[in-house]
Amino acid sequence: MSAPHSPVDPQQSFPKLEEQVLARWKEERIFERTVERRAGARRWVFYEGPPTANGRPGVHHVLARVFKDIFPRYRTMTGHQVERKGGWDTHGLPVELAVEAELGFDKKEDIEEYGIARFNAKCRESVFRYLEDWSRLTERIGYWVDLDDAYRTLDDSYIESVWWALKTIFDKGLLYESYKVVPHCPRDQVTLSSHELGQPGAYRDVIDPSVYVRLPVRAAAGPLRDGDELLIWTTTPWTLPTNAAVAVDPELTYVRARGGDKPHESGSETAVVVLAEALVERVLGEGAEILDRFPGRELEGIGYQPPFDFIPGSAYGERGHTVLLGDFVTADDGTGIVHTAIAFGEDDFRLGEEYGLTVVNPVKPNGTYDERIGDYAGRFVKEADRDLVDDLRGRGRLLRAEDYEHAYPHCWRCGTPLLYYAKPSWYIRTSEIRDRLLASNESVTWYPPHVKHGRFGNWLEGNVDWALSRERYWGTPLPIWRCVHGHVHAIGSFADLEARSGQKLDDAHRPFVDEVTFPCEQCGETARRVPEVIDVWFDSGSMPFAQWHAPHEHEERFRARFPADYVCEALDQTRGWFYSLLAISTLLFDQSSFKNVVCLGLILDADGQKMSKSRGNVVVPDEVLDRFGADALRWYFFTSKQPWDGYRFSLETISEMVRQFLLQLWNTYGFYVMYANANGVAPPPAPDPAALESDLDRWVLSRLSATVETVRERMDDYDATTAGRAIQAFVDDLSNWYVRRSRRRFWDGDADAFATLRHCLVSVAQMLAPFTPFLVDEIYRNLDPDGEASVHLCDFPVAAPRDEELEFAMGVAREAVTLGLAARGQSKIKLRQPLRAAVVVATGRERAAIERLADVVRDELNVKELRFAAAADELGRVEVKPNYRALGPRFGKSMPLVAAAVAALDPAGVARALREGRTVGIVVDGADHELGPDDLITAMQPLEGYQLEREGSHAVALELTLDEELLREGKAREIVHAIQAARKSAGLDISDRIALALGGEATLLDAARAHESYIARETLATTVSYDGADAEPVAIDGASLNIAVARV
């Protein structure tokens, strides 16, 4: 007769097993069948945040992809249809930078010389360079997603949908061009949006020159006299050549002052400087002389000599190089007089507009000065800082210069320090819909919850207009055409463009789209496309509709799958993809495009350091997968902590999880298969708890139901961590309590035990299917060979009715066992040595529970009887001592008197008072003192001949006296243990019958004879002889026993 199940290899390599499972999934189309099986069911919608495949995937991509996988798998098993359309983010500066590096380019102009068409062709090639690596890793980790029909942001159909979105926003009056100060990367010559400054690495600590610059007034005016100097402060000396004006607060009090004990440049010690009164001591030091006080408004219009003469004041207009009033000026830092370079600061620019100043910008887009800045022309502005400071020093224009460490924004793509730079850009007026964005956010459930009104909500509260345009090449072209008279046309479809131009667009990218022109419908002049492309975050944020080419086609598909039930990415996407998704859907549809979002934290190394190649601490996913397997890595990410808390990646922790959980599950499964095969037990049906005789069977089924309840409730709330830990706790109960307590029943072929354990294992496999999809599919198929082709085609388990009273009773019994085993450990008496009795403190419901399960408790503790006590005090005597650490500082030299007073107390009464929350009184030196639980140390000393273990009001005492009968039985148990080891060494199967021969010392042989039937039953011995003197000897408690076993 063939075995009911395939044998289980106890040394199974999980990575090799996973490769076999992958091959079967592919051959049998398991993923596709899980989706097809749910056709017509209620949809549960998942949106894939598109990665860029122009670099190899890292371990952080594994984290994101397994969390994108687990909940769609779960929802599929709960009866939903879950389509999983993959996606690729293919545009943007990171792609361009990689191609530039390959071509040896170091500036934007190199691309123009090379040719935009050739350059973009290279970009198109590069974005899928590592597609095979991504696809292989995606499959290897068990992330089920449809990559055969993935959306790609470079496809013309996708771009056309994005154009529709932009035209819709334009038609609402929310897309506009404006001249503003924006974060500008001089290396890439591109504008950054405000949410890009929230990307990791955007702000870095740098040391810049901090300079206090003296600006002599041109003539006495208002409260100022000839020779007075306005004092300004800046950490960007490179902007001083373009100083247009200075700003003061009209209500702030300013002073004329001199001296002070802070360091001064030579020649400035006696200078009379003007600054905010509140900053005098901080800037000038103690002892500074205040000559006059006046409000800032009295300084308005006063002229001064600029720090450099490269650009005359007249170039800025009438108010050039004069004092202006600004509402942004404070006395929080600096001097209270703000240097204003209107081309390089938002507040500066706004103030310039208010006063009608002309914007003068002598800095080129590549960050170098133009010819107007004399000898500095052609130099990168940040590199000129030190020389500019020396120039000021040489002309006696410095009060002081020092280094200043602060966080400064950098390009998150290339690492170049950003310049705040006035330039024309296209914007989306998101600030105008701030209230709608906040309302959309209210409909979203965030994990963790604090992000909703914290990181993300605060971001929306401070929302500024979206800087949309980029002066680059490889991206979705901005669909705006303009004629020489400034008439603007937004194009929302290729058909519209063809109708206007008579030209069919074969490639929507630059430079081909740039060549398409048409007559302006307002004036007849030729309308040409503006040169910019758009922010790639607008690309990815358009995926809900653009992946379907909606609204140009498949509008019904989009509507049926909008909004998403679930999205998931790293926490930094609050200012990336999560924001663009919500902003675009609110702009277009006045609602969020997702309902639930799980944020993922950073992965650091085991020491909490950021992973980098230079540190040598980067984790290569393939190495982890080859060593431990995908299930182990998935389980680590799901259960080691909540995902948004971040990870300190540890291979040791993964190894421990394999040992503590995956191997425990595998060995429990292997135990079942081994005994089922040995007994010829075919897969039995699920048991009916009401028909089971064993409390243990009914208990484990009730525990299973409780676990199913918890797992469903937690998974419904996107809490894989708690759900996974609940399953692990159940598997531990199953292995270390149910199976261990039931071994004899499996040995005897108990049908209820087999049915119960198999049902539990199948249910665990089904619950774990979203977590560890490989291992449990192997377990399920072997345990249910006539069932579904895969566990992933099963429904998720549903909780059956529970027996909560039995769960309580087993919990009480296990607690008693835990205390009893701890007492065993303290007594140094082996567990195989029977004891006469255990005395358990229990009353009422708890006593009834232990009495119900008395056989279990007796067997676990290996005692002959159980007795009960009403209180722990009955099991020993209480000792009370003073806590010298607490009382010593209080009583000092009187501590001997305190000790004597405590020794005179009734220990039992003290213990009772402290348990009830009361204090204890003593008299020392004629004075009353109250002592509390921190002042006294209480300990329970067991009665003579007993070992006690206590926890709170619970306690178990073991009677330790051993008579000859108990000693013989203990030896018999040791003999059984030794024989089982001999069977294993002989390579015997668990079902093999043996002939047993024993020899050795008389005390052991006497014990064997006294318990011969027990030894024979336990070791499957058909005969027992005592002529084994020549057999292999073993030592038992210092005595020698010879054991010979032979298969019969």
Q: Which of 916, 911, 885 lies closest to 898, judged by CA?
A: 885
More confident residue, 190 or 112: 112
Each residue's pLDDT tens digit, 777-830: 999 999 999 999 999 999 999 999 999 999 999 999 999 999 999 999 999 999
Domain ranges of the chain: 204-409, 661-794, 808-870, 874-959, 964-1047
Model pLDDT, residue 1: 53
The single residue of 15, 25, 50, 122 carrying the catalytic annotation is: 50
Each residue's pLDDT tens digit, 65-80: 999 999 999 999 999 9
Long-range contacts of 400-403 (CB under 8 A, 24+ apart): 400/211, 400/212, 400/262, 400/263, 400/264, 400/265, 400/268, 401/209, 401/210, 401/211, 401/212, 401/265, 402/209, 402/210, 403/207, 403/208, 403/209, 403/210
* Cβ atoms of 184 and 472 closer than 8 Å: no
The H or E element that residue 182 is part of is: strand 175-185
The predicted model gives 536-547 an average pLDDT of: 96
Each residue's pLDDT tens digit, 686-733: 999 989 999 999 999 999 999 999 999 999 999 999 999 999 999 999
Q: Which of 645, 317, 633 lies closest to 450, judged by CA?
A: 645
Classify residue 701 as exposed, middle or buried by CB count within 10 Å of its CB (0-12, 13-18, 19+): buried
Q: Is 573 a catalytic residue?
A: yes
CA dist 571 → 141, 447, 511 (Å): 22, 10, 36
Compute CA 380 distance to the chain's CA centroid, rounded to the nearest angstrom.
40
pLDDT-derived band at 614, boundaries 50, 70, 90: low
pLDDT-derived band at 618, boundaries 50, 70, 90: confident
Q: Which of 508, 587, 573, 575 lies closest to 545, judged by CA?
A: 587
> In angstroms, rounded to a whole number, what is the distance separating the alpha carbons of residues 1001 and 993?
25
- Token duo for residue 869: 């006590």
Model pLDDT, residue 613: 63
How many other CB atoms sit within 10 Å of the CB of residue 689?
Answer: 20
pLDDT-derived band at 205, boundaries 50, 70, 90: confident
Kindly give the pairing relationship between strand 526-529 and strand 518-519. antiparallel
The single residue of 537, 548, 635, 666 carrying the catalytic annotation is: 537
Say yes or no to pLDDT of 766 above 90. yes
Classify residue 1045 as exposed, middle or buried by CB count within 10 Å of its CB (0-12, 13-18, 19+): buried
Say yes or no to pLDDT of 197 above 80. no
Each residue's pLDDT tens digit, 210-259: 999 999 999 999 999 999 999 999 999 999 999 999 999 999 999 999 98
Classify residue 745 as exposed, middle or buried by CB count within 10 Å of its CB (0-12, 13-18, 19+): buried
> In angstroms, rounded to a whole number, what is the distance separating the alpha carbons of residues 70 and 671?
28
> In angstroms, rounded to a whole number, what is the distance separating the alpha carbons of residues 202 and 878?
64
Model pLDDT, residue 114: 96
Q: Let me know how long the chain is.
A: 1048
Model pLDDT, residue 612: 66
Each residue's pLDDT tens digit, 472-487: 999 999 999 999 999 9
Binding-site annotation: residue ranges for ATP: 613
Q: Is 238 a catalytic residue?
A: no
Share of the chain above pLDDT 70, in %: 99
Classify residue 9 as exposed, middle or buried by CB count within 10 Å of its CB (0-12, 13-18, 19+): exposed
> In angstroms, rounded to a whole number, what is the distance separating the alpha carbons of residues 652 and 663?
15
Q: Is 89 a catalytic residue?
A: yes
The single residue of 11, 149, 607, 613 carrying the catalytic annotation is: 613
Say yes or no to pLDDT of 191 above 70. yes
pTM score, two decimals? 0.84
pLDDT-derived band at 181, boundaries 50, 70, 90: confident
The single residue of 81, 189, 547, 573 carrying the catalytic annotation is: 573
* Cβ atoms of 456 and 171 closer than 8 Å: no
Q: Is 684 a catalytic residue?
A: no
The predicted model gives 482-505 an average pLDDT of: 96
> In angstroms, rounded to a whole number, what is the distance separating the alpha carbons of residues 374 and 988?
95
Q: State the chain's maximal CA–CA distance in angstroms.
A: 125
The single residue of 16, 26, 504, 610 carrying the catalytic annotation is: 610
Binding-site annotation: residue ranges: 613
Q: Is 893 a catalytic residue?
A: no
**Per-position b or e across 907-940, b if 16+ CB within 10 A of its CB:** beebbebbeeeeebebeeeeeebebebebbeeeb
The predicted model gives 53-69 an average pLDDT of: 91
Each residue's pLDDT tens digit, 258-312: 988 888 887 777 889 999 999 999 999 998 999 999 999 999 999 999 999 999 9
The predicted model gives 930-936 an average pLDDT of: 90
The single residue of 459, 481, 577, 699 carrying the catalytic annotation is: 577
Structure-token match 């940040």, residue found:
382
CA dist 629 → 12, 602, 635, 642, 727 (Å): 12, 22, 10, 21, 20
> In angstroms, rounded to a whole number, what is the distance separating the alpha carbons of residues 652 and 635?
14
Listing DSSP states for 982-1017 in one string gives: HHHHTT--TT--EEEEEEE-HHHHHHHHHTHHHHHH
The predicted model gives 512-533 an average pLDDT of: 96
Model pLDDT, residue 213: 95
Model pLDDT, residue 954: 85
Listing DSSP states for 95-149 in one string gives: HHHHHHHHHT--SHHHHHHH-HHHHHHHHHHHTTTTHHHHHHHHHHTT---EEEE
CATH number belonging to domain 204-409 = 3.90.740.10
CATH number belonging to domain 661-794 = 1.10.730.10
The single residue of 57, 88, 89, 167 carrying the catalytic annotation is: 89
